[in-house]
Amino acid sequence: MIRILIVDDSAAVREGLSSFLEMAEGMEPVGTASDGLEAVEKARQLLPDVVLMDAQMQNIGGIEATRIIKKEFPNIGVLFFSTYSDYRDDALAADADGYLVKDCEVRELLDKVRQIAAANSGSNETKDQGAYR
């Protein structure tokens, strides 16, 4: 089971993704966070396999939250899931494992979560520097 933390400032997005992922085979949403600070706290508490991270949020944004999470827990995968592609380079520079724009295909999102979980299950050798829409 892939344990997923969903981070987004929109309650509708958090609830929708959580409901969707509950129905996806092999995936378990274990928590949600509405901003970067809460994301870091929840990552520490829940130790998810993958964090679905939004870019723009209150307090600290997704880029800074990713830096903190990846520094403390290099085997937690972080997949940016943003409305905008503008943050891609900064997200990958912050050690994110991938970047998708929210209008991607459902299958692409599930495949990317599985890929990141598998790549981070042991060591962080494989970094995804591409695959975004």
The 10s digit of each residue's pLDDT in 46-81 is 999 999 999 999 889 999 999 999 999 999 999 999
Closest CA to 85 of 98, 101, 108: 101
Whole-structure pTM value? 0.89
Per DSSP, the three-state class of 79 is: strand
Q: Tell me, which fold does domain 2-119 have in CATH?
A: Rossmann fold (3.40.50)
State residue 120's pLDDT score: 87
Please compute the mean of the pLDDT values over residues 96-110 and round it to a whole number: 96
Amino acid letter, 45: Q
Residue 127 has pLDDT above 60, yes or no: no
Instruction: Round the average pLDDT of the chain to a whole number and report it.
Output: 91
Residue 124 has pLDDT above 60, yes or no: no
- Residues 61, 31 contacting (CB under 8 angstroms): no
